Amino acid sequence: MNPRLQLDAVIIDLDGTMVDTLGDFAAALNGMLADLGLPGIAPDAIRNMVGKGSEHLIASVLLQVSGLPQGAPELAAWAAPAWQSYQKHYLAINGQFSQCYPGVLPGLEMLRRRGLPLACLTNKPLDFTRPLLASLGLEGYFSQVFGGDSFPKKKPDPLPLRKTCETLGTLPGVP
């Protein structure tokens, strides 16, 4: 860490930052698709759809595998059953196909030794986030954990970042 940086807290994302969760997404989404009678999707096709919350991910997958145009009535009809199925499948496998990226644990240890309060801020729902952090041994590093359902808006909207900074007693800033 650059000794000239004056950090007073750190906010870290989860999926694709600390943890490779692509395998979990693929298993849950393919279970959901099977429930809906739709063809499966390859993990590589999912990779670029992650990052804007579960609802966006599910809608993007349905759009891709169905071959229907955006706004098709069938897509809207699948939304509620897809969400329920996805939640069921994700909760059943949460963390089984995920792993921390190399360097994450040593990095968190270094931040802890420096006494910096840490928050995990993700678009993943809290019901998925907390068990995942626990299964990977990460939950003890964070004084605050916020999911995509913690605030009225999700990232990339700045509201979750601002609210997390408030909770940590700091102002947003870029090192």
Quick check: 160 and 151 in contact, CB under 8 A?
yes
Joined tokens for residue 26: 């693929």
CA distances from 148 to 12, 73, 103, 123 (A): 14, 26, 25, 4
Selected catalytic residue, list 8, 13, 20, 157: 13
Please work out, in degrees rounded to the nearest 5, the angle formed at the alpha carbon of residue 24 by the alpha carbons of 149 and 59.
55
Q: Going by DSSP bridges, is the β-strand pair 144-146/10-12 parallel, antiparallel, or unpaired?
A: unpaired
Residue 3: CB atoms within 10 Å: 5
Residue 95: CB atoms within 10 Å: 18
CA distances from 162 to 11, 46, 74, 83, 95 (A): 11, 29, 37, 28, 28
* 24 labelled catalytic: no
Active site residues: 13
